[in-house]
Amino acid sequence: MQILITAGGTREYIDPVRFISNASSGKMGYALARAALKAGHKVTLISASDLQPPVGMDFVGVDSAEDMFNAVKKFFLKCDCLIMAAAVADYTPVRPAKTKIRKTGKPLTIKLKPTVDILRWAVAHKNSKFGILNSKFRPRRLVVGFALEDRNLQLNAEKKLKEKNLDMIIANTPDAIGSDKSTVYIRTPDSPWTIIQDASKRIIARKIISISERLISGN
């Protein structure tokens, strides 16, 4: 299986030296990439993280949400499964300054615009052409998403699963950010919630890859 994984938090530049970002470390995405490699799959990792790229996979470094979207578009039709573990910014500055914004002591207003919904785009195109394992008998490509929720976790994650027509959703809380361990809630459209409590991201990643394998094989 050819697996495309995104990781890290994107940077949306206000000017050449300042940006809006989030606290995502990229650890979950990198754990997924390692687990997929260990399971014998081919991996392309698109990362906005400063972590050291794992050996043995194709690596694409990006900064902004637009960069990540362009990279996903480039590799998506070659993959059998996209796992969007990255924390992609929802908004980006309308007009980033071309030079450093000087401090004036006065309030500063920055106008933001929505970024492209990469997951929604991927779902809309997931049956375009075929991935390595796909054929005319099984036009199947998986799109897997993450949901970081600070309240109504399962309710909001299930809403995202249905509204974006995902094949799998992995939900967690802000406690997972930067941590080596996490509690996650995993669901597919045809299965109840699977809860993995206080486990290493390596173990969680192996479970996600295993479920992805079962989904794409139809078992």
Cα 164 to the center of its chain, rounded Å = 14
Residue in the block written with tokens 């949901």 = 147
Instruction: Identify which of 209, 219, 203, 197 has the alpha carbon closest to the alpha carbon of residue 43.
Output: 209
Instruction: Identify which of 14, 20, 15 has the alpha carbon closest to the alpha carbon of residue 48.
Output: 20
**Rounded Cα distance, 95 and 204, in Å:** 39
Following DSSP, what letter does each residue of 125-138 receive, concatenated?
Answer: TTTSS--TT-BTTB
Going from the C-alpha of 120 to that of each of 42, 135, 156, 161, the distances in angstroms are: 24, 23, 16, 11
Instruction: Identify which of 76, 79, 62, 77 has the alpha carbon closest to the alpha carbon of residue 7.
Output: 62
Contact 43, 58 (CB under 8 A): yes
Positions marked catalytic: 22
Tokens describing residue 185: 């809630």
State which amino acid sits at residue 115.
T
Based on the number of CB atoms within 10 Å of its own CB, is 164 exposed (0-12), middle (13-18) or buried (19 or more)? middle
